[in-house]
Amino acid sequence: MSLRINKKNNALFTVVVVLSLAVTIALAWNPYIAPALSGFQPLAGVIPPEDEIIVSGQCQSGPNAPIALDKAWKLTLKKNTGGNIGTSTDTIVIYESDSLAVFEDNLDPASGVVTTGSVYKSGDTYDILYNNSNTQHWFRGIEVPFHCVDTDSNHYSQVTSYAIGTYVITLTYSGNTTAMETATGTYNYTSQGTTPTFTVRVDNTADNTGIISSKNPITGRDYKPVLQIILNGTGFDTVTMKSAQFNQDGSLVTPQYTQTVTKRIWSIELSEDNLSREVRADGTVVQVGTTSISYQLNLAGVSVDTVDMFIQLAGHSSNSEINDFGTATANDGVSLKEHLINIKS
């Protein structure tokens, strides 16, 4: 049996084939149907919510290509432990990443969320400075996001910082069985010796808190937590450090030595790990948040009762800050805890 196709039937066959191909192509490109045909599962939601943004140049969901918008920027400040950070006394300053010129300042993240008054363009990058009473945190090279839809009312970004720890300084010394836990105290070198070994223990007592180190792109300084031992008052220059190195948690470290006309300073930069405390939900302590530093003084030359030893834990500072300005808290550094000892006969 043979099949004969006349011109009329041939034309009809051609139309059917073309229509079939067109339907197949349309189905393959339809974001709702294509997954069923190919087995590919798209990210949840074909139409993204308002705050869905581009990540690494790719739309998180939806069929649309990345869309660049000029919009206000809504920033959310998150704590590492969950929830938002920010009070009415905190501020945010936004700098252009390339020029480091201030683009917008005095933004108030009172609820942990701030919306800029200026318009920002998708793809541009900025450095964001978060200031609070305990520290500063620089967020470097934050890109203004692209969007999946052109109806978004704002740009949306989120940055995360540590909840600042609660720190306690405990001071003990050779021959003393009771730790000095108060903010002030006295060391009597006549009855207790002229070559005492002091041990400074710093504890973070707040679970899942710590301190952030960050680099200030304007000054170029890498800011870290710093412990400084300061000798000042009349006769400060008669006190020397008997040992050239500190013992920190069983390892010898060489402190930076700085002297001004009014004081002598020995300082060391601390790691974030030394001061961060992490506790799991089941109570397991992952990170203790404790560091201990020992050093020995020579008080043989002291003949007055006016020498003070000032121990300070400072955040967002550096040895170079101390070297240049004579203290860890001259500019951006903040005091996290202090201890004052009067050395007397």
Helix ranges (H only) for the chain are: 7-29, 34-38, 189-192, 272-275, 319-325
Q: pLDDT tens digits for 36-85?
A: 333 322 222 222 333 344 443 445 445 556 889 999 999 998 877 777 77
Burial track 72-102 (b if 16+ CB lie within 10 A, e otherwise): ebbbbbebbeeeebbeeebbbbbbebeeeee
Q: Is 64 helix (H, G, I), strand (E, B) or coil?
A: coil
- Is 301:210 a contact under the CB 8 Å cutoff? no
Cβ neighbors of 55 (< 8 A, separation 6 or more) are none
Q: What residue spans define the domains of the chain?
A: 54-161, 167-344
pLDDT of 3: 41
Q: For residues 90-100, give the mean pLDDT.
A: 92
**Which among 24-28, 210-214, 226-230, 274-278 has the top mean pLDDT?**
226-230
Q: Is the pLDDT of residue 118 over 90?
A: yes
State the pLDDT at residue 174. 76
pLDDT of residue 156: 92
The reply to whether CATH 2.40.50.140 applies to domain 54-161 is: no
Least confident of 149-163, 165-179, 203-217, 293-307: 165-179
One fold for both 54-161 and 167-344?
yes
| Mean of pLDDT values over 299-313 | 90
pLDDT digits (tens, 9 = 90+) for 216-266: 888 888 888 999 999 999 889 999 998 778 989 889 999 999 999 999 999
Average pLDDT, stretch 309-335? Answer: 90
Domain 167-344, what fold?
Answer: Immunoglobulin-like (2.60.40)
Give the distance from CA 10 to its chain's centroid. Answer: 73
Residue 121: predicted pLDDT: 94
Q: Which residue has the higher pLDDT, 113 or 46?
A: 113
